[in-house]
Amino acid sequence: MDTPILTADSLVKKFGGLIAVNGVTLSIKKGDMVGLIGPNGSGKTTLFNILTGVYKPDSGKVFFNRERIDGLQPHQIYHKGLVRAFQMPRILQRMTVLDNLLISVKNPGDKFLPALFKRKNWLKFENDIRNKALEILEFLGLEKHCYVPAAELSGGQMKLLEIARALISEPSMILLDEPTAGVNPVLANDIYMKFREIKKNMDITLFIVEHRIELLIGHVDKVHVMHQGKIIAEGKPDDVINNEDVIKVYLGSV
């Protein structure tokens, strides 16, 4: 499928005299799993912040499903189906794992008076959402922890819970910022296997910032490489890894 779901056109973001994102242009096809790599400070997280509305670009445009979104607020972008999972899971640790999912649901809303007479509708909605949350937890291997406080999860399980919170919003695309940072190699590989299932079975596009290149390249369809705020290479994983510029500015520095 060649239809782009996300397009960035000549994005620039400056912080004083620092150009954090310098003319970035990229296009991600619907249904792909795409990696974003680069040295620390190359602009990857800043780019994610622009794509999700946290930062406004100084110039350039962002399109999601052919609609321009760079002028929207983060919550507006979220409701359009572009969702982000953070490097440090932003979970409510005193709440149960299940409740962390339930509060992440897009509430359909209702006017005050009609809501008083639609109790059955709300009960059905809440029951359906609960069942969906339990299905997601089972899919990610967290079903045994659904009634325990999120603080009792391991670091890797918290990463999975962050992914679960993204999934329950029924996104079209998820941006994942270092989803396996601090996670042991076995669980890290399991997480990427889950990503493959999400892509295939849920038709969700994935855009992933990852430092563990050896893990990423075995799973993604395409890789973009950033350096000093610019995209310096993009393409199939094997082609990118063997690119001389990438070896020089990124792989050669680790």
Mean pLDDT value of segment 101-114: 64
* Confidence (pLDDT) at 104: 76
Beta strands in the chain (DSSP E): 4-15, 18-29, 33-37, 59-64, 67-68, 82-85, 173-177, 205-209, 222-227, 230-235
Angle in degrees, CA 169, 75, 172, rounded to 5:
40
pLDDT at 122: 58
Q: How far is CA 31 from CA 103, 165, 222, in A?
A: 27, 20, 12
Confidence of residue 156 (pLDDT cuts 50, 70, 90): confident
For the segment 222-232, what is each residue's pLDDT rounded down to a tens digit?
A: 999 999 999 99
Q: Per-residue pLDDT averaged across 235-252, rounded? A: 84
* pLDDT at position 249: 77
> According to CATH, what is the number of the domain 1-81+171-254?
3.40.50.300
Average pLDDT of the chain?
A: 88
Domain ranges of the chain: 1-81+171-254, 89-169
Digit-coded pLDDT (tens) for 199-221: 999 999 999 999 888 899 999 99
| pLDDT computed for residue 105 by the predictor | 74
pLDDT computed for residue 254 by the predictor? 44
